[in-house]
Amino acid sequence: MIRLAVISGKGGTGKTMITAALAQLLPGSLVLADCDVDAANLELLLSPKLIRTEPFMGMKTAVIDPALCTQCGECMEHCRFGAIERDGDAYRVSLLRCEGCAVCTHVCPAAAVTMQPRQTGEIKYSDTERGHLVHARLVPGAGNSGLLVHAVKKTAIEQDRNSDLFLIDGPPGTGCPLISTISGVDMALIVTEPSVSGLHDLKRVVAVCRQFRPRILVAINRFDLEQSLTETIQIWCKEEKIPMIGKIPFDPVVIESVRKGVPVTRAGASPAAQAIQILAANLENELMHYGNRRG
Amino acid sequence: MRLAVASGKGGTGKSMVAANLAFTLSQAEQVTLIDCDVEEPDLHLFFPAPSTTTEVTVPVPVVDETACQHCGLCEEFCQYGAMTVLSSRVLFFPELCHSCGGCTLVCPNGAIHEDPKRIGTTTISTPLPNLKLISGMLDTGNPLAVPIIRTAKKLAASDPLVICDTAPGTSCPVVETLDGCDACILVTESTPFGMHDLQLAVDVAARLGVPAGIVINRSDGKDQATLEFCTDHDIEMMMTIPFDREIAAIQSRGDLLCRARPEWQKAFAALFVKCSTLAGMDR
């Protein structure tokens, strides 16, 4: 199984749209995962049929038993996350802020604080035309998105270990969820756009990727909106020896296909669909070489 | 007043709205703009200026091996798996540490103290006479964005008018940014992706008790579903920015809509009035 993550650094560059089209175009057996667990959108393009749902338990969080609490305030004083709130005489844990460190349970002289398991999301295992999809939903405002990403990947690998390709739709950013997504992947396809923000964010996400050593590939979406920046990005990639394997033009058909809930490559012939076919062919080549090298 | 600009979905134009709002308001009053998207901060690209950078550190444990009895209590206590105690030494995994201080409290031998560890920076500049820009930036490879956001917000604690640009998503970095804000602008696009993530963002704002209003960006006129959502949830549609290749190009090259096309300042000033009403702070 080759593990390929589609990521971007900057949000909204077209990761999900490209992942859905690649799922349709790449050959062999697939398992898919949506690791943008904060705001999972891949399901909106793949019409998944839900097979089962499992609760996701995040970190345990602290609970104060008001019957035992002596209102000494030790927990509040020692909590470094500002998660203990005082309401009149009572102390309460803010579930939005609690990071589950358990320091409050240690410092409480009355043993009034315990750590309790809490469901912070769910993991969904579904069927699509192109293989199984593991997707998730994080309770809005909950923490532990990195942990949930890890659980999503683990489910996909365990359930579908014989698939040729594990295709991951990644999160934006460079923090916890992104790091959890790219750890252990063989290849990262970075989707960028020709803007000063796109280039800046590309450089940062490449720096993070290099700490995990996947093969890095780049594609530029909406490349024709600012040709001079597209050239700057291409020059930078060349200097950094990062293969640029696709350039997708701005095309209103992309938005139409998202509104129809299908990959753009299923919405009839269009300039964007054609460009993604070239991207998929280049990627297929990369995957073949990678597979051969690995043996 | 403290405003946050958020979205759920990435790339909807949060930074564009935050930057243009701050630029417009700074023509008349003192404004502080904070880039709380510390994983991918971009606002400084739109406001180049000389700046001062300060390191952000978090406390991490250091084990004094001469005092350590290798009893294993720190490993047992650490909820993040950041300590592994071997028979003759302790392995510490800094990328897993949340800096809670628990290990120093449970060590019976006083063998653990904390040293500061750099995780990123905050940068302050004054790109315009009335505009202060604070950018939080997480060092690449570091997972924990929240302490940087907290530090950046503290730097503006006594500033009268603060606009925070938020990271995409709905988890910890967004909660940390929205927390304590008087109102929130949610920037969306009229696609099923935008709608799906807008619902999540509305939910987060509601859980935090922050009143929210909506801005549609890159509108191609097919906004019916978003408008219905606003009506159904009693959320105000505050502004619509059309899709326009020239607006996209202005933004792409790092310029500001309100600088390149000053006629847009009126619309952003009107957006601010609506935000003030939303925050219950009529001006």
What are the chain A neighbours of B145 within 8 Å (beta carbons)? 173, 175-176
Measured between CA atoms, the residue of chain B closest to residue A261 is B192
Partners of B248 on chain A (C-beta within 8 Å) are: 225-226
- Reduced DSSP (H G I as helix, E B as strand, rest coil) percent helix, strand, coil of chain B, to 5: 35, 30, 35
A106 interfacial to chain B (CB closer than 8 Å): yes
3-state SS, one letter per residue, for A134-145: EEEEECCCCCCH
pLDDT of residue B283: 65
* pLDDT score at A136: 97
pLDDT of residue A94: 92
Query: pTM for the full model?
Result: 0.95
CA-closest candidate to residue B210, choices B239, B177, B238, B165: B177
Query: How does residue B282 score in pLDDT terms, banded at 50, 70 and 90?
Result: confident
CB of A120 within 8 Å of a chain B CB? The answer is: no
A128 CB near a chain B CB, below 8 Å? Answer: no
A–B CB contacts, 8 A cutoff, strictly below: 196
Across the interface, of B42, B105, B170, the residue whose CB is closest to A197 is: B42
Q: What is the CATH topology of the domain spanning A61-117?
A: Alpha-Beta Plaits (3.30.70)
State which fold the A2-57+121-294 domain adopts.
Rossmann fold (3.40.50)
Instruction: Decide if pLDDT at B162 tops 90.
Output: yes
All structural domains of chain A with their residue ranges: 2-57+121-294, 61-117
pLDDT at B203: 94
- CA distances, A66 to each of A70, A115, B178 (Å): 8, 14, 29
Q: Measured between CB atoms, which of A12, A142, A255 is closest to B11?
A: A12
Question: Residue B237: pLDDT band by 50, 70, 90 thresholds?
Answer: very high
- Could you tell me which CATH class the domain B2-56+120-278 is placed in? alpha beta
Residue B69 φ then ψ, to 5°: -100, 5
Rounded to whole angstroms, the Cα distance separating B155 from B151 reads: 6
CATH architecture assigned to B58-118: 2-Layer Sandwich (3.30)
Q: Show the tokens assigned to B271.
A: 């957006």
C-alpha to C-alpha distances, A43 to A29, A46, A125, A260, nearest whole angstrom: 18, 5, 11, 13
- Where are the domain boundaries for CATH 3.40.50.300 in chain B? 2-56+120-278
Determine whether the interchain pair B77/A106 forms a contact, defined as Cβ–Cβ distance below 8 Å.
Answer: yes
Distance from the B283 Cα atom to the nearest Cα atom in chain A, whole angstroms:
31
Q: Identify the H or E element spanning B276.
A: helix B265-278
Q: Which residues contact A231 (CB under 8 A, 6 or more apart)?
A: none
pLDDT tens by residue, B180-220: 999 999 999 999 999 999 999 999 999 999 999 999 999 99
Residue B101 has its nearest CB partner, among A44, A80, A228, at A80
Of residues A197, A194, A207, the one with CA closest to residue A244: A194
Residues 136-165 of B with CB under 8 A from A: 138, 140-145
Chain B: give the shortest CA distance to residue A179, in Å.
Answer: 7
pLDDT at B239 over 70: yes
What integer is the mean pLDDT of A119-123? Answer: 95
Alpha carbons B3 and B17: distance in angstroms, whole number = 12
The shortest C-alpha distance from A292 to chain B (Å) reads 30
- Whether B249 sits inside 8 A of A226 (CB atoms) is yes
